[in-house]
Chains A and B, each alone.
Chain A
Amino acid sequence: MKISDLDYYATFGNTFLHKVPAKYKLLDAIIIICAIFYAKNVYSLAIMYFLLITYLIFSGLPRFKFFKLSLYPLIFTAMFLYSIENLTYLTAFKLILRVLCFSTTFIYLIFTTPYIQIFKALSGFLPDIMVNILFNTYRSLFIINNTLENLLTTIRLRGRLRLNRPILALKTIGNLIGFFVIKSIETSEKMYDGIKLRGYSDNFKFLKD
């Protein structure tokens, strides 16, 4: 799922969770993390996951996209479980539920809170350098995303990439990304000049709520 789509849901969504301030949602996520770590049996984890999913059903959030995204960590978990000898159902369920509880919690956070609000809440803990880079990255993501979309359209218009000529396909993608890197770096230089002209002094300031 694209970050721009997520940002759209987080910014323009209108559920109960969207109205809760980011710092309380972060605090809530920390409480859930602690609860997951201290959950001693599979039943408490199952109840936790059941509650999280039940809320999803009635929350008004895009259920399918949300659910699909929350299942991503299961790829690694499946590989990990495959490597366990004498694996019992209990351990497998416990591990899967733990992973799903974690991922669902954070997807709630990101589906209902714009990245900017999260960075703002994190700025109290993170060093200034990191806050600077995070805000710049967020800005850059949307600026260069258009360039990438145009490049991908160009590739599609020229007849897509073919499996029967893998080296050529790789070279085409390599050239595409190479061009994208050059374009993006040029954009970053212009962006830096632009923000410098507008008074940027290697430090981001934002309005308090």
Chain B
Amino acid sequence: MSHLHIPDGILPLWLWLLGYILIAIYFIFGAFYIKKYKKQSKFPLISIMAALMILTMSIPLPFPVPYHVNLSVLTGIILGPVLAFFAVFTTNLLLAFLAHGGITVIGLNTVVISIEAALGYFIFRFLYKKFNKIFFSVFIATFLALLFSTFLNIGIVYTGTHNLSMLAHHHHGHHGEFNHKHHQNDHNFIEHENHHPPLMETHERQEGFDKHEHEENFNIKKFLSLMFIFGFIGWILESSLTGFIVSYINKVKPDILNL
């Protein structure tokens, strides 16, 4: 609901490799944390939270748009920011095999959703300490975490695809050639300003300008607006649901929340 499941084949190699490097670093830190604080007994809880994240996706929501629950912030609240990462990674790995997200982008998706879980945890703790209102604190924490993770996701997509020629032509060939010619034209224009008829130059420059104008461009504003239209309904739904879930847990078994 909150996050995009970026599929394989859209982001460039360097970006998804960076995602894997980031989670590898986090693995080392997480393993050190688990060993130091003897958190091995939490493995079944991490696994259950991962299983919950996967299974609750199949709960139908009574809304016309096909949203599904994500529960990453709830995972963050229950497991804490460090252990939530392992649950998020497991969920992403299992879902990637179902074409829900991609295998190559597991690293990046994990980074985004782990940040979402950690941010949700910290905002919730801060707000609950200050206002002592459970539903309000969870609602705001989830909403802000989802908003931030959506921006992060859009940022990742933009970083990987703003140079669309890489994606469209796969190699620098055509685009590079065009740019080279274009720069050469500019260079010639300055160097031989007096040797060419001005009309010819204007025509060549106009042609270059037209080509540039008809080039494929990733329009981040269009993407942002699309994400915000669909995302906003999702954020409200997920925030309210997480609020109701945590309120229920707080009433029935508050020790789960460690408040």
Question: Which residues in A have some Cβ–Cβ distance to B below 8 Å?
Answer: 1-3, 6, 29, 33, 36-37, 39-40, 69-70, 72-73, 76-77, 79-80, 82-88, 90-91, 94-95, 98-99, 101-103, 106-107, 109-110, 115, 118, 127, 129-130, 132-134, 136-137, 139-141, 144-145, 148, 152, 160-163, 166-167, 169-171, 173-182, 184-185, 187-189, 191-192, 195, 202
Contact = CB atoms under 8 A, between A and B. Distances in A.
8 contacts: A1-B98, A33-B8, A91-B167, A95-B167, A130-B89, A170-B240, A178-B244, A189-B44
B1 interface: no
Interface centre among A88, A115, A118, A130, by most chain B C-beta atoms within 10 angstroms, is A130
Contact of A84 (B41, B62, B64, B216): B216
Given A133-B46, A184-B51, A174 B244 contact: yes
Interface residues of B, number: 84
Contacts of A77: 7, 10
B44 A192 contact: yes
B103 A106 contact: yes
A145 B55 contact: yes
A188 B249 contact: no
B244 A103 contact: no
B56 interface: yes
A29 to B, nearest CB: 8
Interface in B169-189: 170-171
Contacts of B168: 88, 90-91, 94
Interface in B198-226: 213-220, 222-223, 226
A80 B157 contact: yes
B98 A6 contact: yes
Contacts of A129: 27, 30-31, 34, 43, 86
Given A133-B47, A137-B50, A141-B55, A98 B9 contact: yes
A76 B124 CA distance: 30
A140 B48 contact: yes
A173 B31 contact: no
Interface in B40-65: 40-41, 43-48, 50-52, 54-56, 58-64
Interface in B107-132: none
Interface centre among B217, B237, B249, by most chain A C-beta atoms within 10 angstroms, is B249
Interface centre among A167, A176, A181, by most chain B C-beta atoms within 10 angstroms, is A181
Contact of A177 (B54, B164, B245, B253): B245
A178 B99 contact: no
B110 to A, nearest CB: 11
A174 B142 CA distance: 14
B25 to A, nearest CB: 12
Contact of B59 (A94, A134, A160, A173): A173
A99 B71 CA distance: 27
The 7 closest A-B pairs by CB, nearest first: A174-B244, A178-B248, A73-B7, A136-B47, A102-B8, A98-B9, A83-B223
Main secondary structure of the interface of B (DSSP, over half): helix
B69 interface: yes
Nearest to B12: A37
Nearest to A73: B7
B96 interface: yes
A203 to B, nearest CB: 9
B102 interface: yes
B27 to A, nearest CB: 6
Contacts of A162: 62
Contacts of A161: 60, 62
B241 A173 contact: yes
B72 interface: no
Nearest to A192: B44
A99 B240 contact: no
A79 B61 CA distance: 22
A195 B44 CA distance: 10
Contacts of B51: 137, 140-141, 144, 184
A195 B59 CA distance: 29
A175 B247 CA distance: 9
Nearest to B4: A76
A107 B95 CA distance: 11
B217 A85 contact: yes
